[in-house]
Amino acid sequence: MLFKAMDLFVMARLAEIGGGYLIWQWLRNGKPLWVGILGAVIMVVYGGVATRQEFSFGKTYAAYGGIFIVMAVLWGWLVDRKIPDLSEWIGAGICLVGVFVMLLKR
């Protein structure tokens, strides 16, 4: 159960961050309109993936928040090539511990 939940969290985070990144590229960095449209479509996919969780809405989105922070730090490092500093890694780790604490009890 926990591994399925984590898989869904990661898929949803990749869709949300990836879609948001494409919209950012379109609006802030002058990429073509189709890049923004693709980002919007991916954001809709994110919304569908989120509904596949077995937890309540509040617990799901609270846990997504923690996973989002970790994935955003990783995205910035791997895609934008901005190396996170120690405080970002520590903060992301604390968030991940919080996610596991929330999800341990059904």
State the SS3 of 81-101: CCCCCHHHHHHHHHHHHHHHH
Q: pLDDT at position 84, please?
A: 94
Percent of the chain with pLDDT over 70: 97
Q: Which of 31, 64, 26, 28 is nearest to 46 (CA)?
A: 64
pLDDT in tens, 32-77: 999 999 999 999 998 888 888 888 888 888 888 888 899 899 989 9
Read off the pLDDT band of 12 (50, 70, 90): confident
Angle ∠(27,31,37) on CA atoms, nearest 5: 70
Q: Please say if the pLDDT value at position 3 is more than 90.
A: no
Give me the phi and psi of 64, to 5 degrees please. -55, -40
Q: pLDDT at position 41, please?
A: 96
Q: Please say if the pLDDT value at position 2 is more than 70.
A: no
Q: pLDDT at position 64, please?
A: 84
Count CB-CB contacts under 10 A for residue 15: 20
Q: pLDDT at position 32, please?
A: 98
Q: pLDDT at position 106, please?
A: 64
